[in-house]
Structures are given as structure tokens and as C-alpha cells.
Amino acid sequence: MTNIMEIYQLLPKTNCKECGESTCMAFAVALLSGTRRFTECPPLVKEGKYIDSKQKLEKILKPIEGAEETGLIIHEELCSGCGNCVVACPVDVANDPHGSGRGTGPTNDKVIFKVVDGKVKAANVKECRRFGKDKILCRACIDPCPTEAIEFV
């Protein structure tokens, strides 16, 4: 999956500070955590020689930009829509015991995961156990995924 070095290698690596961060590495960290956008790096946007890097960054950062505050990322191209995460997520079981918890499609809107057009979509992510003040490092949706389509950053 995407790692920090991979992102860093695609940045100008000049530490010009135009983005406001002290180093390109710091900017890379901010990109990975989803707090900054790559378009906030002026040389990358303006200078033609970075065009390839820019395109690559755009591609690898796309899922991260969609990440919710919990850092949940779904790599749609890897998802087979099996629904394992839908059924295994403890929040889904608690909020929809007779639907998601029993293996069928969700019967209400309170669940986190739902499969639409063959790919899983996340909603209500604030309910995720990794979020809020009593957060725990839950992996209940990651481990059952047969294709490593779920990641938290």
C-alpha cells in the first residue's frame, strides 16, 4: 500500500517551504494523513518537469483524499463486494443485528459498510470504534477482507 517514502520520492525534494511546511518530508506526511492536498505544493503544480510526478501522486493519493476522519480508506479496485466487512464490523452488528449482523444486506442507515454496485462504501464513519474519545484499535473489518481492500491511515 501507499507509504510515506513513495509519496516523498514524487515531491520536488527541494525543501523550498512554499507549501508552508518546513520540509518536503513533512508535506509528504501531511499528504498521507489527508490533511493537505498535493495541489498545495506550488512547484509541483506550476513547473512542467514535475508533470509525471504530479500525475502519479494524483493517482496514489486519490483514495486517501476520500478518507474520512477516521483514516478509513477503501481501495475499490481491490474490493470484490464480498460483504465480509459489512457483517464483521461490530458497529454494523450492534446497529443492525437483524440485517448486517445476520449476513444479509443492511436494513437501516445506521451501518458503516454497505455494498453498492459491487463495491463497498462507507458511511457513518464517526461511529467507527477507532474514532472519538474511547477509541480502540479495531481491526474487525481489516482482517476478514480477502483482498486487503481496507486500510486505515
Partner 1 sequence: MTEMVTWTCTGCALLCEDIQVSISDNRIEHVENACMKGKARVFGCKEQAVPTIHGDKADIDDVIKDAARILRDAKNPLLYGWSNSTNEAHIAGIELARTLGGIIDSTSSFCQGITVNEILSGSVPSCTLEEVREKADVIVFWGADPMSSHPRHMSKYSYFPRGELRQRGYEEDRTAISIDVWQSRTAKICKNGFHRIPPGKDAEFMRGLIEALSGRVPKLSFDYDVKRILELAATLKKAEFGVLFAGLGLIYSIKEDITLLSEFTAALNQFSHYSLIPMAGHFNMRGFNHTLHEKTGHIYRVKFVDGKAISGVEYSVIEQMKRNADAVLVVGSDPLASLPGSISKRLKDIPLILIDPCMNLTSRVADVTIPCSTSGIEAGGTAVRMDGKTMDIHALVQGNNMSDEKIIERIIEEVG
The residue written with cell numbers 500500500 in the block is 1
- Annotate the chain with three-state secondary structure: CCCHHHHHHHCCCCCCCCCCCCCHHHHHHHHHHCCCCHHHCHHHHHCHHHHHHHHHHHHHHHHHHCCCCCCEEECHHHCCCCCHHHHHCHHHHHHCCCCHHHCCCCCCCCCCEEEECCEEEECCHHHCCCCCCCCCCCCCCCCCCCCCCEEEC
Q: How far is the CB of 106 from partner 1 (least distance, A)?
A: 8
Site for ligand SF4 (CB under 6 A): which residue of 53, 84, 95, 100? 84
Choose the one of partner 1, ligand SF4, none that binds residue 128, judging by a C-beta under 5 to 8 angstroms depending on kind.
ligand SF4
Binding span for ligand SF4 by CB under 6 A among 19-27, 45-53, 98-106, 127-135: 127-135
Instruction: Give the nearer residue to ligand SF4 in terms of CB position, either 41 or 150.
Output: 150
Query: Which of 11, 30, 31, 120 contacts ligand SF4 by CB under 6 A?
Result: 120
Write down the residue that cell numbers 513513495 correspond to: 6
φ, ψ at 98 (rounded to 5°): -95, -5
Q: Which stretch binds partner 1 (CB under 8 A): 26-34, 55-63, 73-81, 126-134?
A: 73-81
**Binding pattern for the stretch 80-99 against partner 1, x by CB under 8 A and - elsewhere:** xxxxx-xxx----x---x--
Q: Which residues bind ligand SF4 (CB under 6 A)?
A: 74, 79-85, 89-91, 112, 115, 120, 128-130, 138, 140-141, 144-147, 149-150
Q: Which residues bind partner 1 (CB under 8 A)?
A: 79-84, 86-88, 93, 97, 101-106, 114-119, 143-144, 146-147
